[in-house]
Structures are given as C-alpha cells and as structure tokens.
A and B are shown apart, each in its own frame.
Chain A
C-alpha cells in the first residue's frame, strides 16, 4: 500500500516539519491554553478529515459520522476503566472495535444512495446515542463515564502529564493525517474519486464499488474513532454529546468552513470552528446565533471553504506566471 508515489517525499517532509513545529510550540510559546486548543483541534482534525474521506473523496455524505467519534471515546474510556488494560491495548481495542462497527453499519448503509445513505447513517448514530443514554450501568447514561479515565504510563509516556499528552496528540494527528493522505493519493484513493464522479464507469471498469465504499467507510470510521479517543484523553471522560447528531453536524461544518477540495481543508476547518467557538462563547451567550451567521456566510456568501480560496489563489497565480513566462 505504501508504494512510492510522486509527492510522497514532499508529504513526508511536510508532515515531519509540521510535527517538529507542533512539538516545539510549547517551548516557543508556553501557554496551557494553546496546548489545550491544539489537543482539541487534533481530535477534531482527525474526525473532520476522516469524514471528508467519505464526503469529499467518495461522495458519500454521512450524517452519522459522530457515531464513530463518540464510539471511539467510549471504547477507549471503557477499556481503560473496566478492563484495566494498558493504553496501547486500549488503542488497539478502539481501532478494532470501531472497524467492526464501521463494517456492520457500512455494510447496511452503503447499499443506499444519496439522501437515503445520509439518513440511515444518522439513524444508526441515534441508535447508538439512545443505547448510550439507556445503558446506564455500562455508560453512566446521560452523566457519561464518571470518575476519570486512568492513564497509566507506557513506554516512558505518561499521559497524565500535560506535556506528554500534548506530544501524544500532535504525533497521533500528524501520523493520522499522513496515513489518510497516503490513502487518498494511492490508487485506491483515485478509485474512490472515480466512484464519486461516475459510479457506472467505475463498475464498468471492473471495480467492486461496494467493497471500495465499504473499505472507505471502515477506514473513515477508525480515524473518526481515534479522534474521539484523543478527546476522551483530553477531558478524561466520555459523554453522550460525543455520540449525538450535533457532533456529526460539527464535522460537516468543519469541512464546509475549511473546504472539501483540498486534503488539509477539514483540518483547517477544525481549527477555524474551534477558534470561533472559543472566541464567541467568551463574548456572548448567543453563540448559536453568531456561529450560525458565520456558517451561513460561508455557505451562502462564499460557497467555498477557506483552503479552497487559497488553492484557487495559488492556481491563478501559477497560471498567470506560466502565461507571462511563456
């Protein structure tokens, strides 16, 4: 899968550079608030980018992706609280169980198209949400997983220490984004784009569309769950809100704000939405109104995400320079 491809070296360099910058950030700019923001954005960036694998690359608009975010948070939290396993084991359990969830939900959902697909994913999410609310002995119901998630040290990493938690989150997000980048740039990624653009053509070319879509759904689910896991580590708990439909909505907003035509768009959207949320809730109780207005502006006024504009700007400039050069 990791065969050499053009731009792989470039992506690796960018990832390494991003990782170094993020790891050095607390030393250059020591602020717990920035650390917190980066950790939360890491969680959302994994979540939004994984959703974009479906929305942007495969053309499957899932309204239920928050189910994986919440599932990841609960799977990780419960493994740590109930099973008392080590953190790497809990991560493994989270990955495997969310892949299984993706397999089951995906196998049923992707038989449906367009709005029907969107709604059945939403239905599955609400099913999980209701289960979390109702299964009080296991999940704590509406109160969430109480009493904190234990964070025993492993391999010299102690996630109860803030700096370790920070380094862990940024490393995970960089590796996660790099892996997803590798996936969308691989032949499989181009298959997904072809399915998005013309499903019939893909079928005629001998592609098993169902299997390709299902694979994408499972991969997206796993990365979405990893995002939820980072969030669970940050708040040291898991709450029903993570599984609620509003979480899926936020994922869609992030993609809209950041832009779905670039790979990094949803991650940028995660940054923007988190910043907007933090700034607006500081200033007013009517945050819903302000946030809604901003999103409306993007959806109706700009009709593109921020990174789409940047990408356009680069393209125009490149074309202009090639024209003047030629």
Chain B
C-alpha cells in the first residue's frame, strides 16, 4: 500500500514536471510581424572564459537600445532585445540563433559571437533569410570572401587585415627610427594567433624590408605557464617582439615576462594590450609596451568618446571593452538604417545601410561608414601607442592612415582572389 502511494506520488511529480517543461518550451510566442515591438535576437558568450566580453557587449547594447527607443525605436517600433548565451560553442550559437528567429519571433539578429560562432550564425541567417549584424567577428574572410558573404549580413567591427596594415606601418616607423632588424614573435597557437602574426610580419616587411624574424614562439591557447617561451625568447635576443596574445593569456604572459625583465631588453608590440580588461588586470604594467587601441576612452580623443566611456563605467562599474564599442556601432547602424528606410523591415534596413555613413564616437573623424561593396565597417578609430603604468594608460596614440589601409586591403583582396 505504501509502495503504491510512493509510486503515485512520483508519477504525479513526473507528470507535473513534464507538463511544466512542456509549457515552458512549447508555449507559443505570439509575435505578429506587425506588432509594435521589433525583436532583435542576440546570441553571445555569457559563460566560460570570454564571458566578460559577451557581458560587455550586452551592457553596451542595453545602454544604446534604451537611447534608440527613447528616440522612437526602429521606424516607430520599440526594440526588444532577446539575449541568449551560446557558451562560446558554434553549434549552440547556431541553435540559439535559429531559436531566436523561429520561436522568439526575432526579426533581426545581432551576432555578438567570436569568429567561429559568427560563421555558424551566418549560415543560419542565410538559411532563414534574416538581417544579421556581426558585431565581434574580426576574421576578414567573413565579409571579404565572396563565397562566404551574403546580402543580408553586415559587420560592425574591426577586421584582421585592417589591423595588420596599421600594425605593420606603426612597427616599421619605430624599426626605422631605432634600426630594429631582428624580430621575434610570440602568439597563441591557433587560427587567430597564426593569421594575425603572419599578416603582421608581412606588412612589417612591406614597410620595412630589412626586418627579419629570428624567433617564433607559439604557446598554447589558455596556457597557464609561459616560462619556457619567455626564456626561449630571451635567449635568442631579438631586438623587438610581436605578440597577438589576448585577454587572460596576455595578462599572465606580461606578469611572468616582468619577472624576467623582458620589457627592458627589447621593444614589445602587443596588439591586444590597450583594452581595459588587460590594462587593469596586469599587476605591474610595464612602461613602453606598444599596443594597438582596442577600446580606450582617450582615443579618439574626443568629448563624445570620453563621455561614453564614463557613462558606461558609471553604470556598470567597469570600463567598456573592444566588443562594447563594436556593438554600439552595430546597433546604431541598424537604427540609422531603419530611419533612412523608414521601416523596421530587415531587407529594407539592409538596403539603407549599404554605403551609409553615421556619426560615431569611435570613428576616425567622428564618423564610420558601412562600405557598400562588402558590407563591413571602415573608418573606425585605430592607432598605436605606448603604455604607461596608470591612467590614461596609453597617453599618446598615433592614428592610422585610412587611405593606406584601404589601398593595401584592396591589394590583399586581389591576392586572395576575393574580388
């Protein structure tokens, strides 16, 4: 008798649980396309090692969507963001993106994924025919390669080839001035690290043919101990070292290289240094590390940029990241596109965005442009400078010359048969 009662109870519980689960999953999300609200789905990384970047993307979007909504939303329709975690897994990014469109009624995707996830989301957008704005993927081929490019996909962030040209030009200037011919590299051993470093070396040699790479070190991604690579670099005594390490890896590397006084023995160019996540995490930030700007509120040195950095900091108790400004650009392009098209329809916004120029605190001249031919953003602020140990961290930034970038980018595209 008791046993029966126990069975009954468990069944009831199971039934209840099943019904609850079913109700949660299958509850119809009644969202008519013409309702007042326009939903934008945002898959991003909110857990795991790069969660900080995903969170900073979400923060920026929340802050900007409030402003855009206050100004009338997308052609009179208020934006409602639906933000989900992809755990940094491409197949989850694909699943989440599909779910956002198919079940949550999102009409536009704002893809705040790292590069592998962005390619997965691109496939979803292709399949479902929705407008997608890639806000964080810096892999050039996403928009440069005509085989991958699709009419409804745009990119609102920096990309690898631009970075490489700027880095090569800046490093070459210093190399010329200081007669630095022997170079070493120390970058993470995966696609981004390899591509980035190879392109850097290519453009360094383009601007300064005497440069020669004598040492290469390839630590593993997320490696905890860099002693071996640091000592190897020190033994080979290059005059300068280039590194594409980023995030926590770069922080650990700088802390460990400090112990060996590496920074006093050679010029160091660490492209991902000038981002607050790294600058504030390093224990003793050495003076004079050269870095490209990722996000820093003093470059571009404008009131608009400083005000935005402060506003973000006041609200979220930390500085924005590289991904934050890139998401700013993404959502504002959509908003300005909708304004120009006077519609919240993805295809009309896409049409309006091609070639659109908008005012932007992170523009090289206060504006950024969505280049029509490959639907990617250009003319954003980018430069290099050397660090000091405290705020403003990189006091003087040498801005990039966009004419040079565009010219060399065009040649690069031709070489890769992307045109």
Interface residues of A (CB under 8 A from B): 31-34, 36, 40, 133-134, 136, 140-144, 146-148, 160, 162, 231, 234-237, 239-242, 275, 278-279, 281-282, 285-288, 313
Contacts and interface: CB of A to CB of B under 8 A. Distances in A.
Contacts, number: 103
Contact of B191 (A142, A234, A288): A142
A165 to B, nearest CB: 10
B21 A141 contact: no
A281 B92 CA distance: 10
B145 interface: yes
A280 to B, nearest CB: 10
A287 B191 contact: no
Contact of B127 (A146, A236, A281): A236
Contact of A285 (B46, B90, B141): B46
A71 to B, nearest CB: 15
B54 to A, nearest CB: 9
Interface string B179-192: 00000000001111
Contacts of B51: 285
Contacts of B120: 144, 235, 237, 239
B237 interface: no
B94 interface: yes
By secondary structure, the A interface counts as: helix
A236 B148 CA distance: 12
Interface residues of B, number: 41
B25 A275 contact: yes
A235 B128 CA distance: 12
Interface stretch (B98-106, B303-311, B327-335, B390-398): B98-106
B326 to A, nearest CB: 18
A142 B123 contact: no
Contacts of A32: 98, 102-103
Nearest to B126: A148
Contacts of B190: 133, 141-142
B85 interface: yes
Given A133-B190, A236-B127, A241-B89, A279 B24 contact: yes
A239 B191 contact: no
Contacts of B123: 148, 235-237
A235 B21 contact: no
B231 interface: no
A36 B116 CA distance: 21
B205 interface: no
